[in-house]
Amino acid sequence: MRVLGSLLKSAISLKNPTMFFMLELDMSEKYYFTSLSYSVRFNNNLYIPDGGLTGFGPPRSSTTVDREIYEVTFLDHADELQAEIRAGINGAPLTVYTSFLNSKKKPLLSRSDVFIAYSGFIDTAVIINNSETKMAKIQAASPLAALDLVSAYSVSRDGMDQMNSLDTSFDDIYQGSKSVTLKWGKS
């Protein structure tokens, strides 16, 4: 069980507690965004406010073991996230941290005062481009989402090299010009 520190307890017990988020995206490079209007440093990383972060969706869950989805929305007028999405970001890690502002409106950023609100992997990402704005919407799924994942297993020389570069089981089959003396089944 987690023990709350006195600073965090006092921030939560304020009449109008103010929560903020910090988002860590690990794509082709690491991105650190915050919902605050100014930059903050946490875990030796600088979380910036100008990433166009517009929305955090609360995790959706049910009473069955299924996919919990967490949705994050960005304004993407500089096409930075669009380029990442087109390069392929499915499976990239995403972590959302949350904490509170104290009575002086200063963020609580010690490790004991910050919670992991969500930790999972990017499942889908889309660009929404209409006449008014351009947004990037990222949905992340928890690790339990892999329970219902159906993926193909590539049975080829190149496919096996991606799994294990030392595996030579498909090298002779790929070449095709050599007779294979390995027998399958019982001898």
Mean pLDDT of the chain: 77
User: Closest by alpha carbon to 81, among 22, 129, 137, 21?
Assistant: 137
- Per-residue pLDDT of 23-56, as tens digits, reads 998 888 898 988 898 999 999 999 988 666 667 6
Of 6-10, 92-96, 102-106, 157-161, the range with the lowest mean pLDDT is 157-161
Query: pLDDT grade, residue 61 (50/70/90)?
Result: very low
Between CA 135 and CA 132 the distance in angstroms is: 10
At 82, which amino acid appears? Q
> In the chain, pLDDT over 70 holds for what percent of residues?
66
Q: How would you list the strands of the sheet with 19-26, edge to edge?
A: 30-34, 19-26, 93-100, 115-129, 134-141, 69-75, 53-56
Q: Tell me: pLDDT of 66 over 60.
A: no
Q: Quick one: residue 98, left, alpha or beta (phi over 0 = left, psi -120 to 50 = alpha)?
A: beta
Cβ-count burial of 64 within 10 angstroms (0-12 exposed, 13-18 middle, 19+ buried)?
exposed
Spatial contact of 51 and 29, defined as CB atoms under 8 Å apart? no
* pLDDT given at position 153: 57
Spatial contact of 100 and 19, defined as CB atoms under 8 Å apart? yes
* pLDDT given at position 79: 74
* pLDDT given at position 106: 94
- Report the predicted TM-score, pTM, of the whole model to 2 decimal places: 0.68
* pLDDT given at position 1: 63
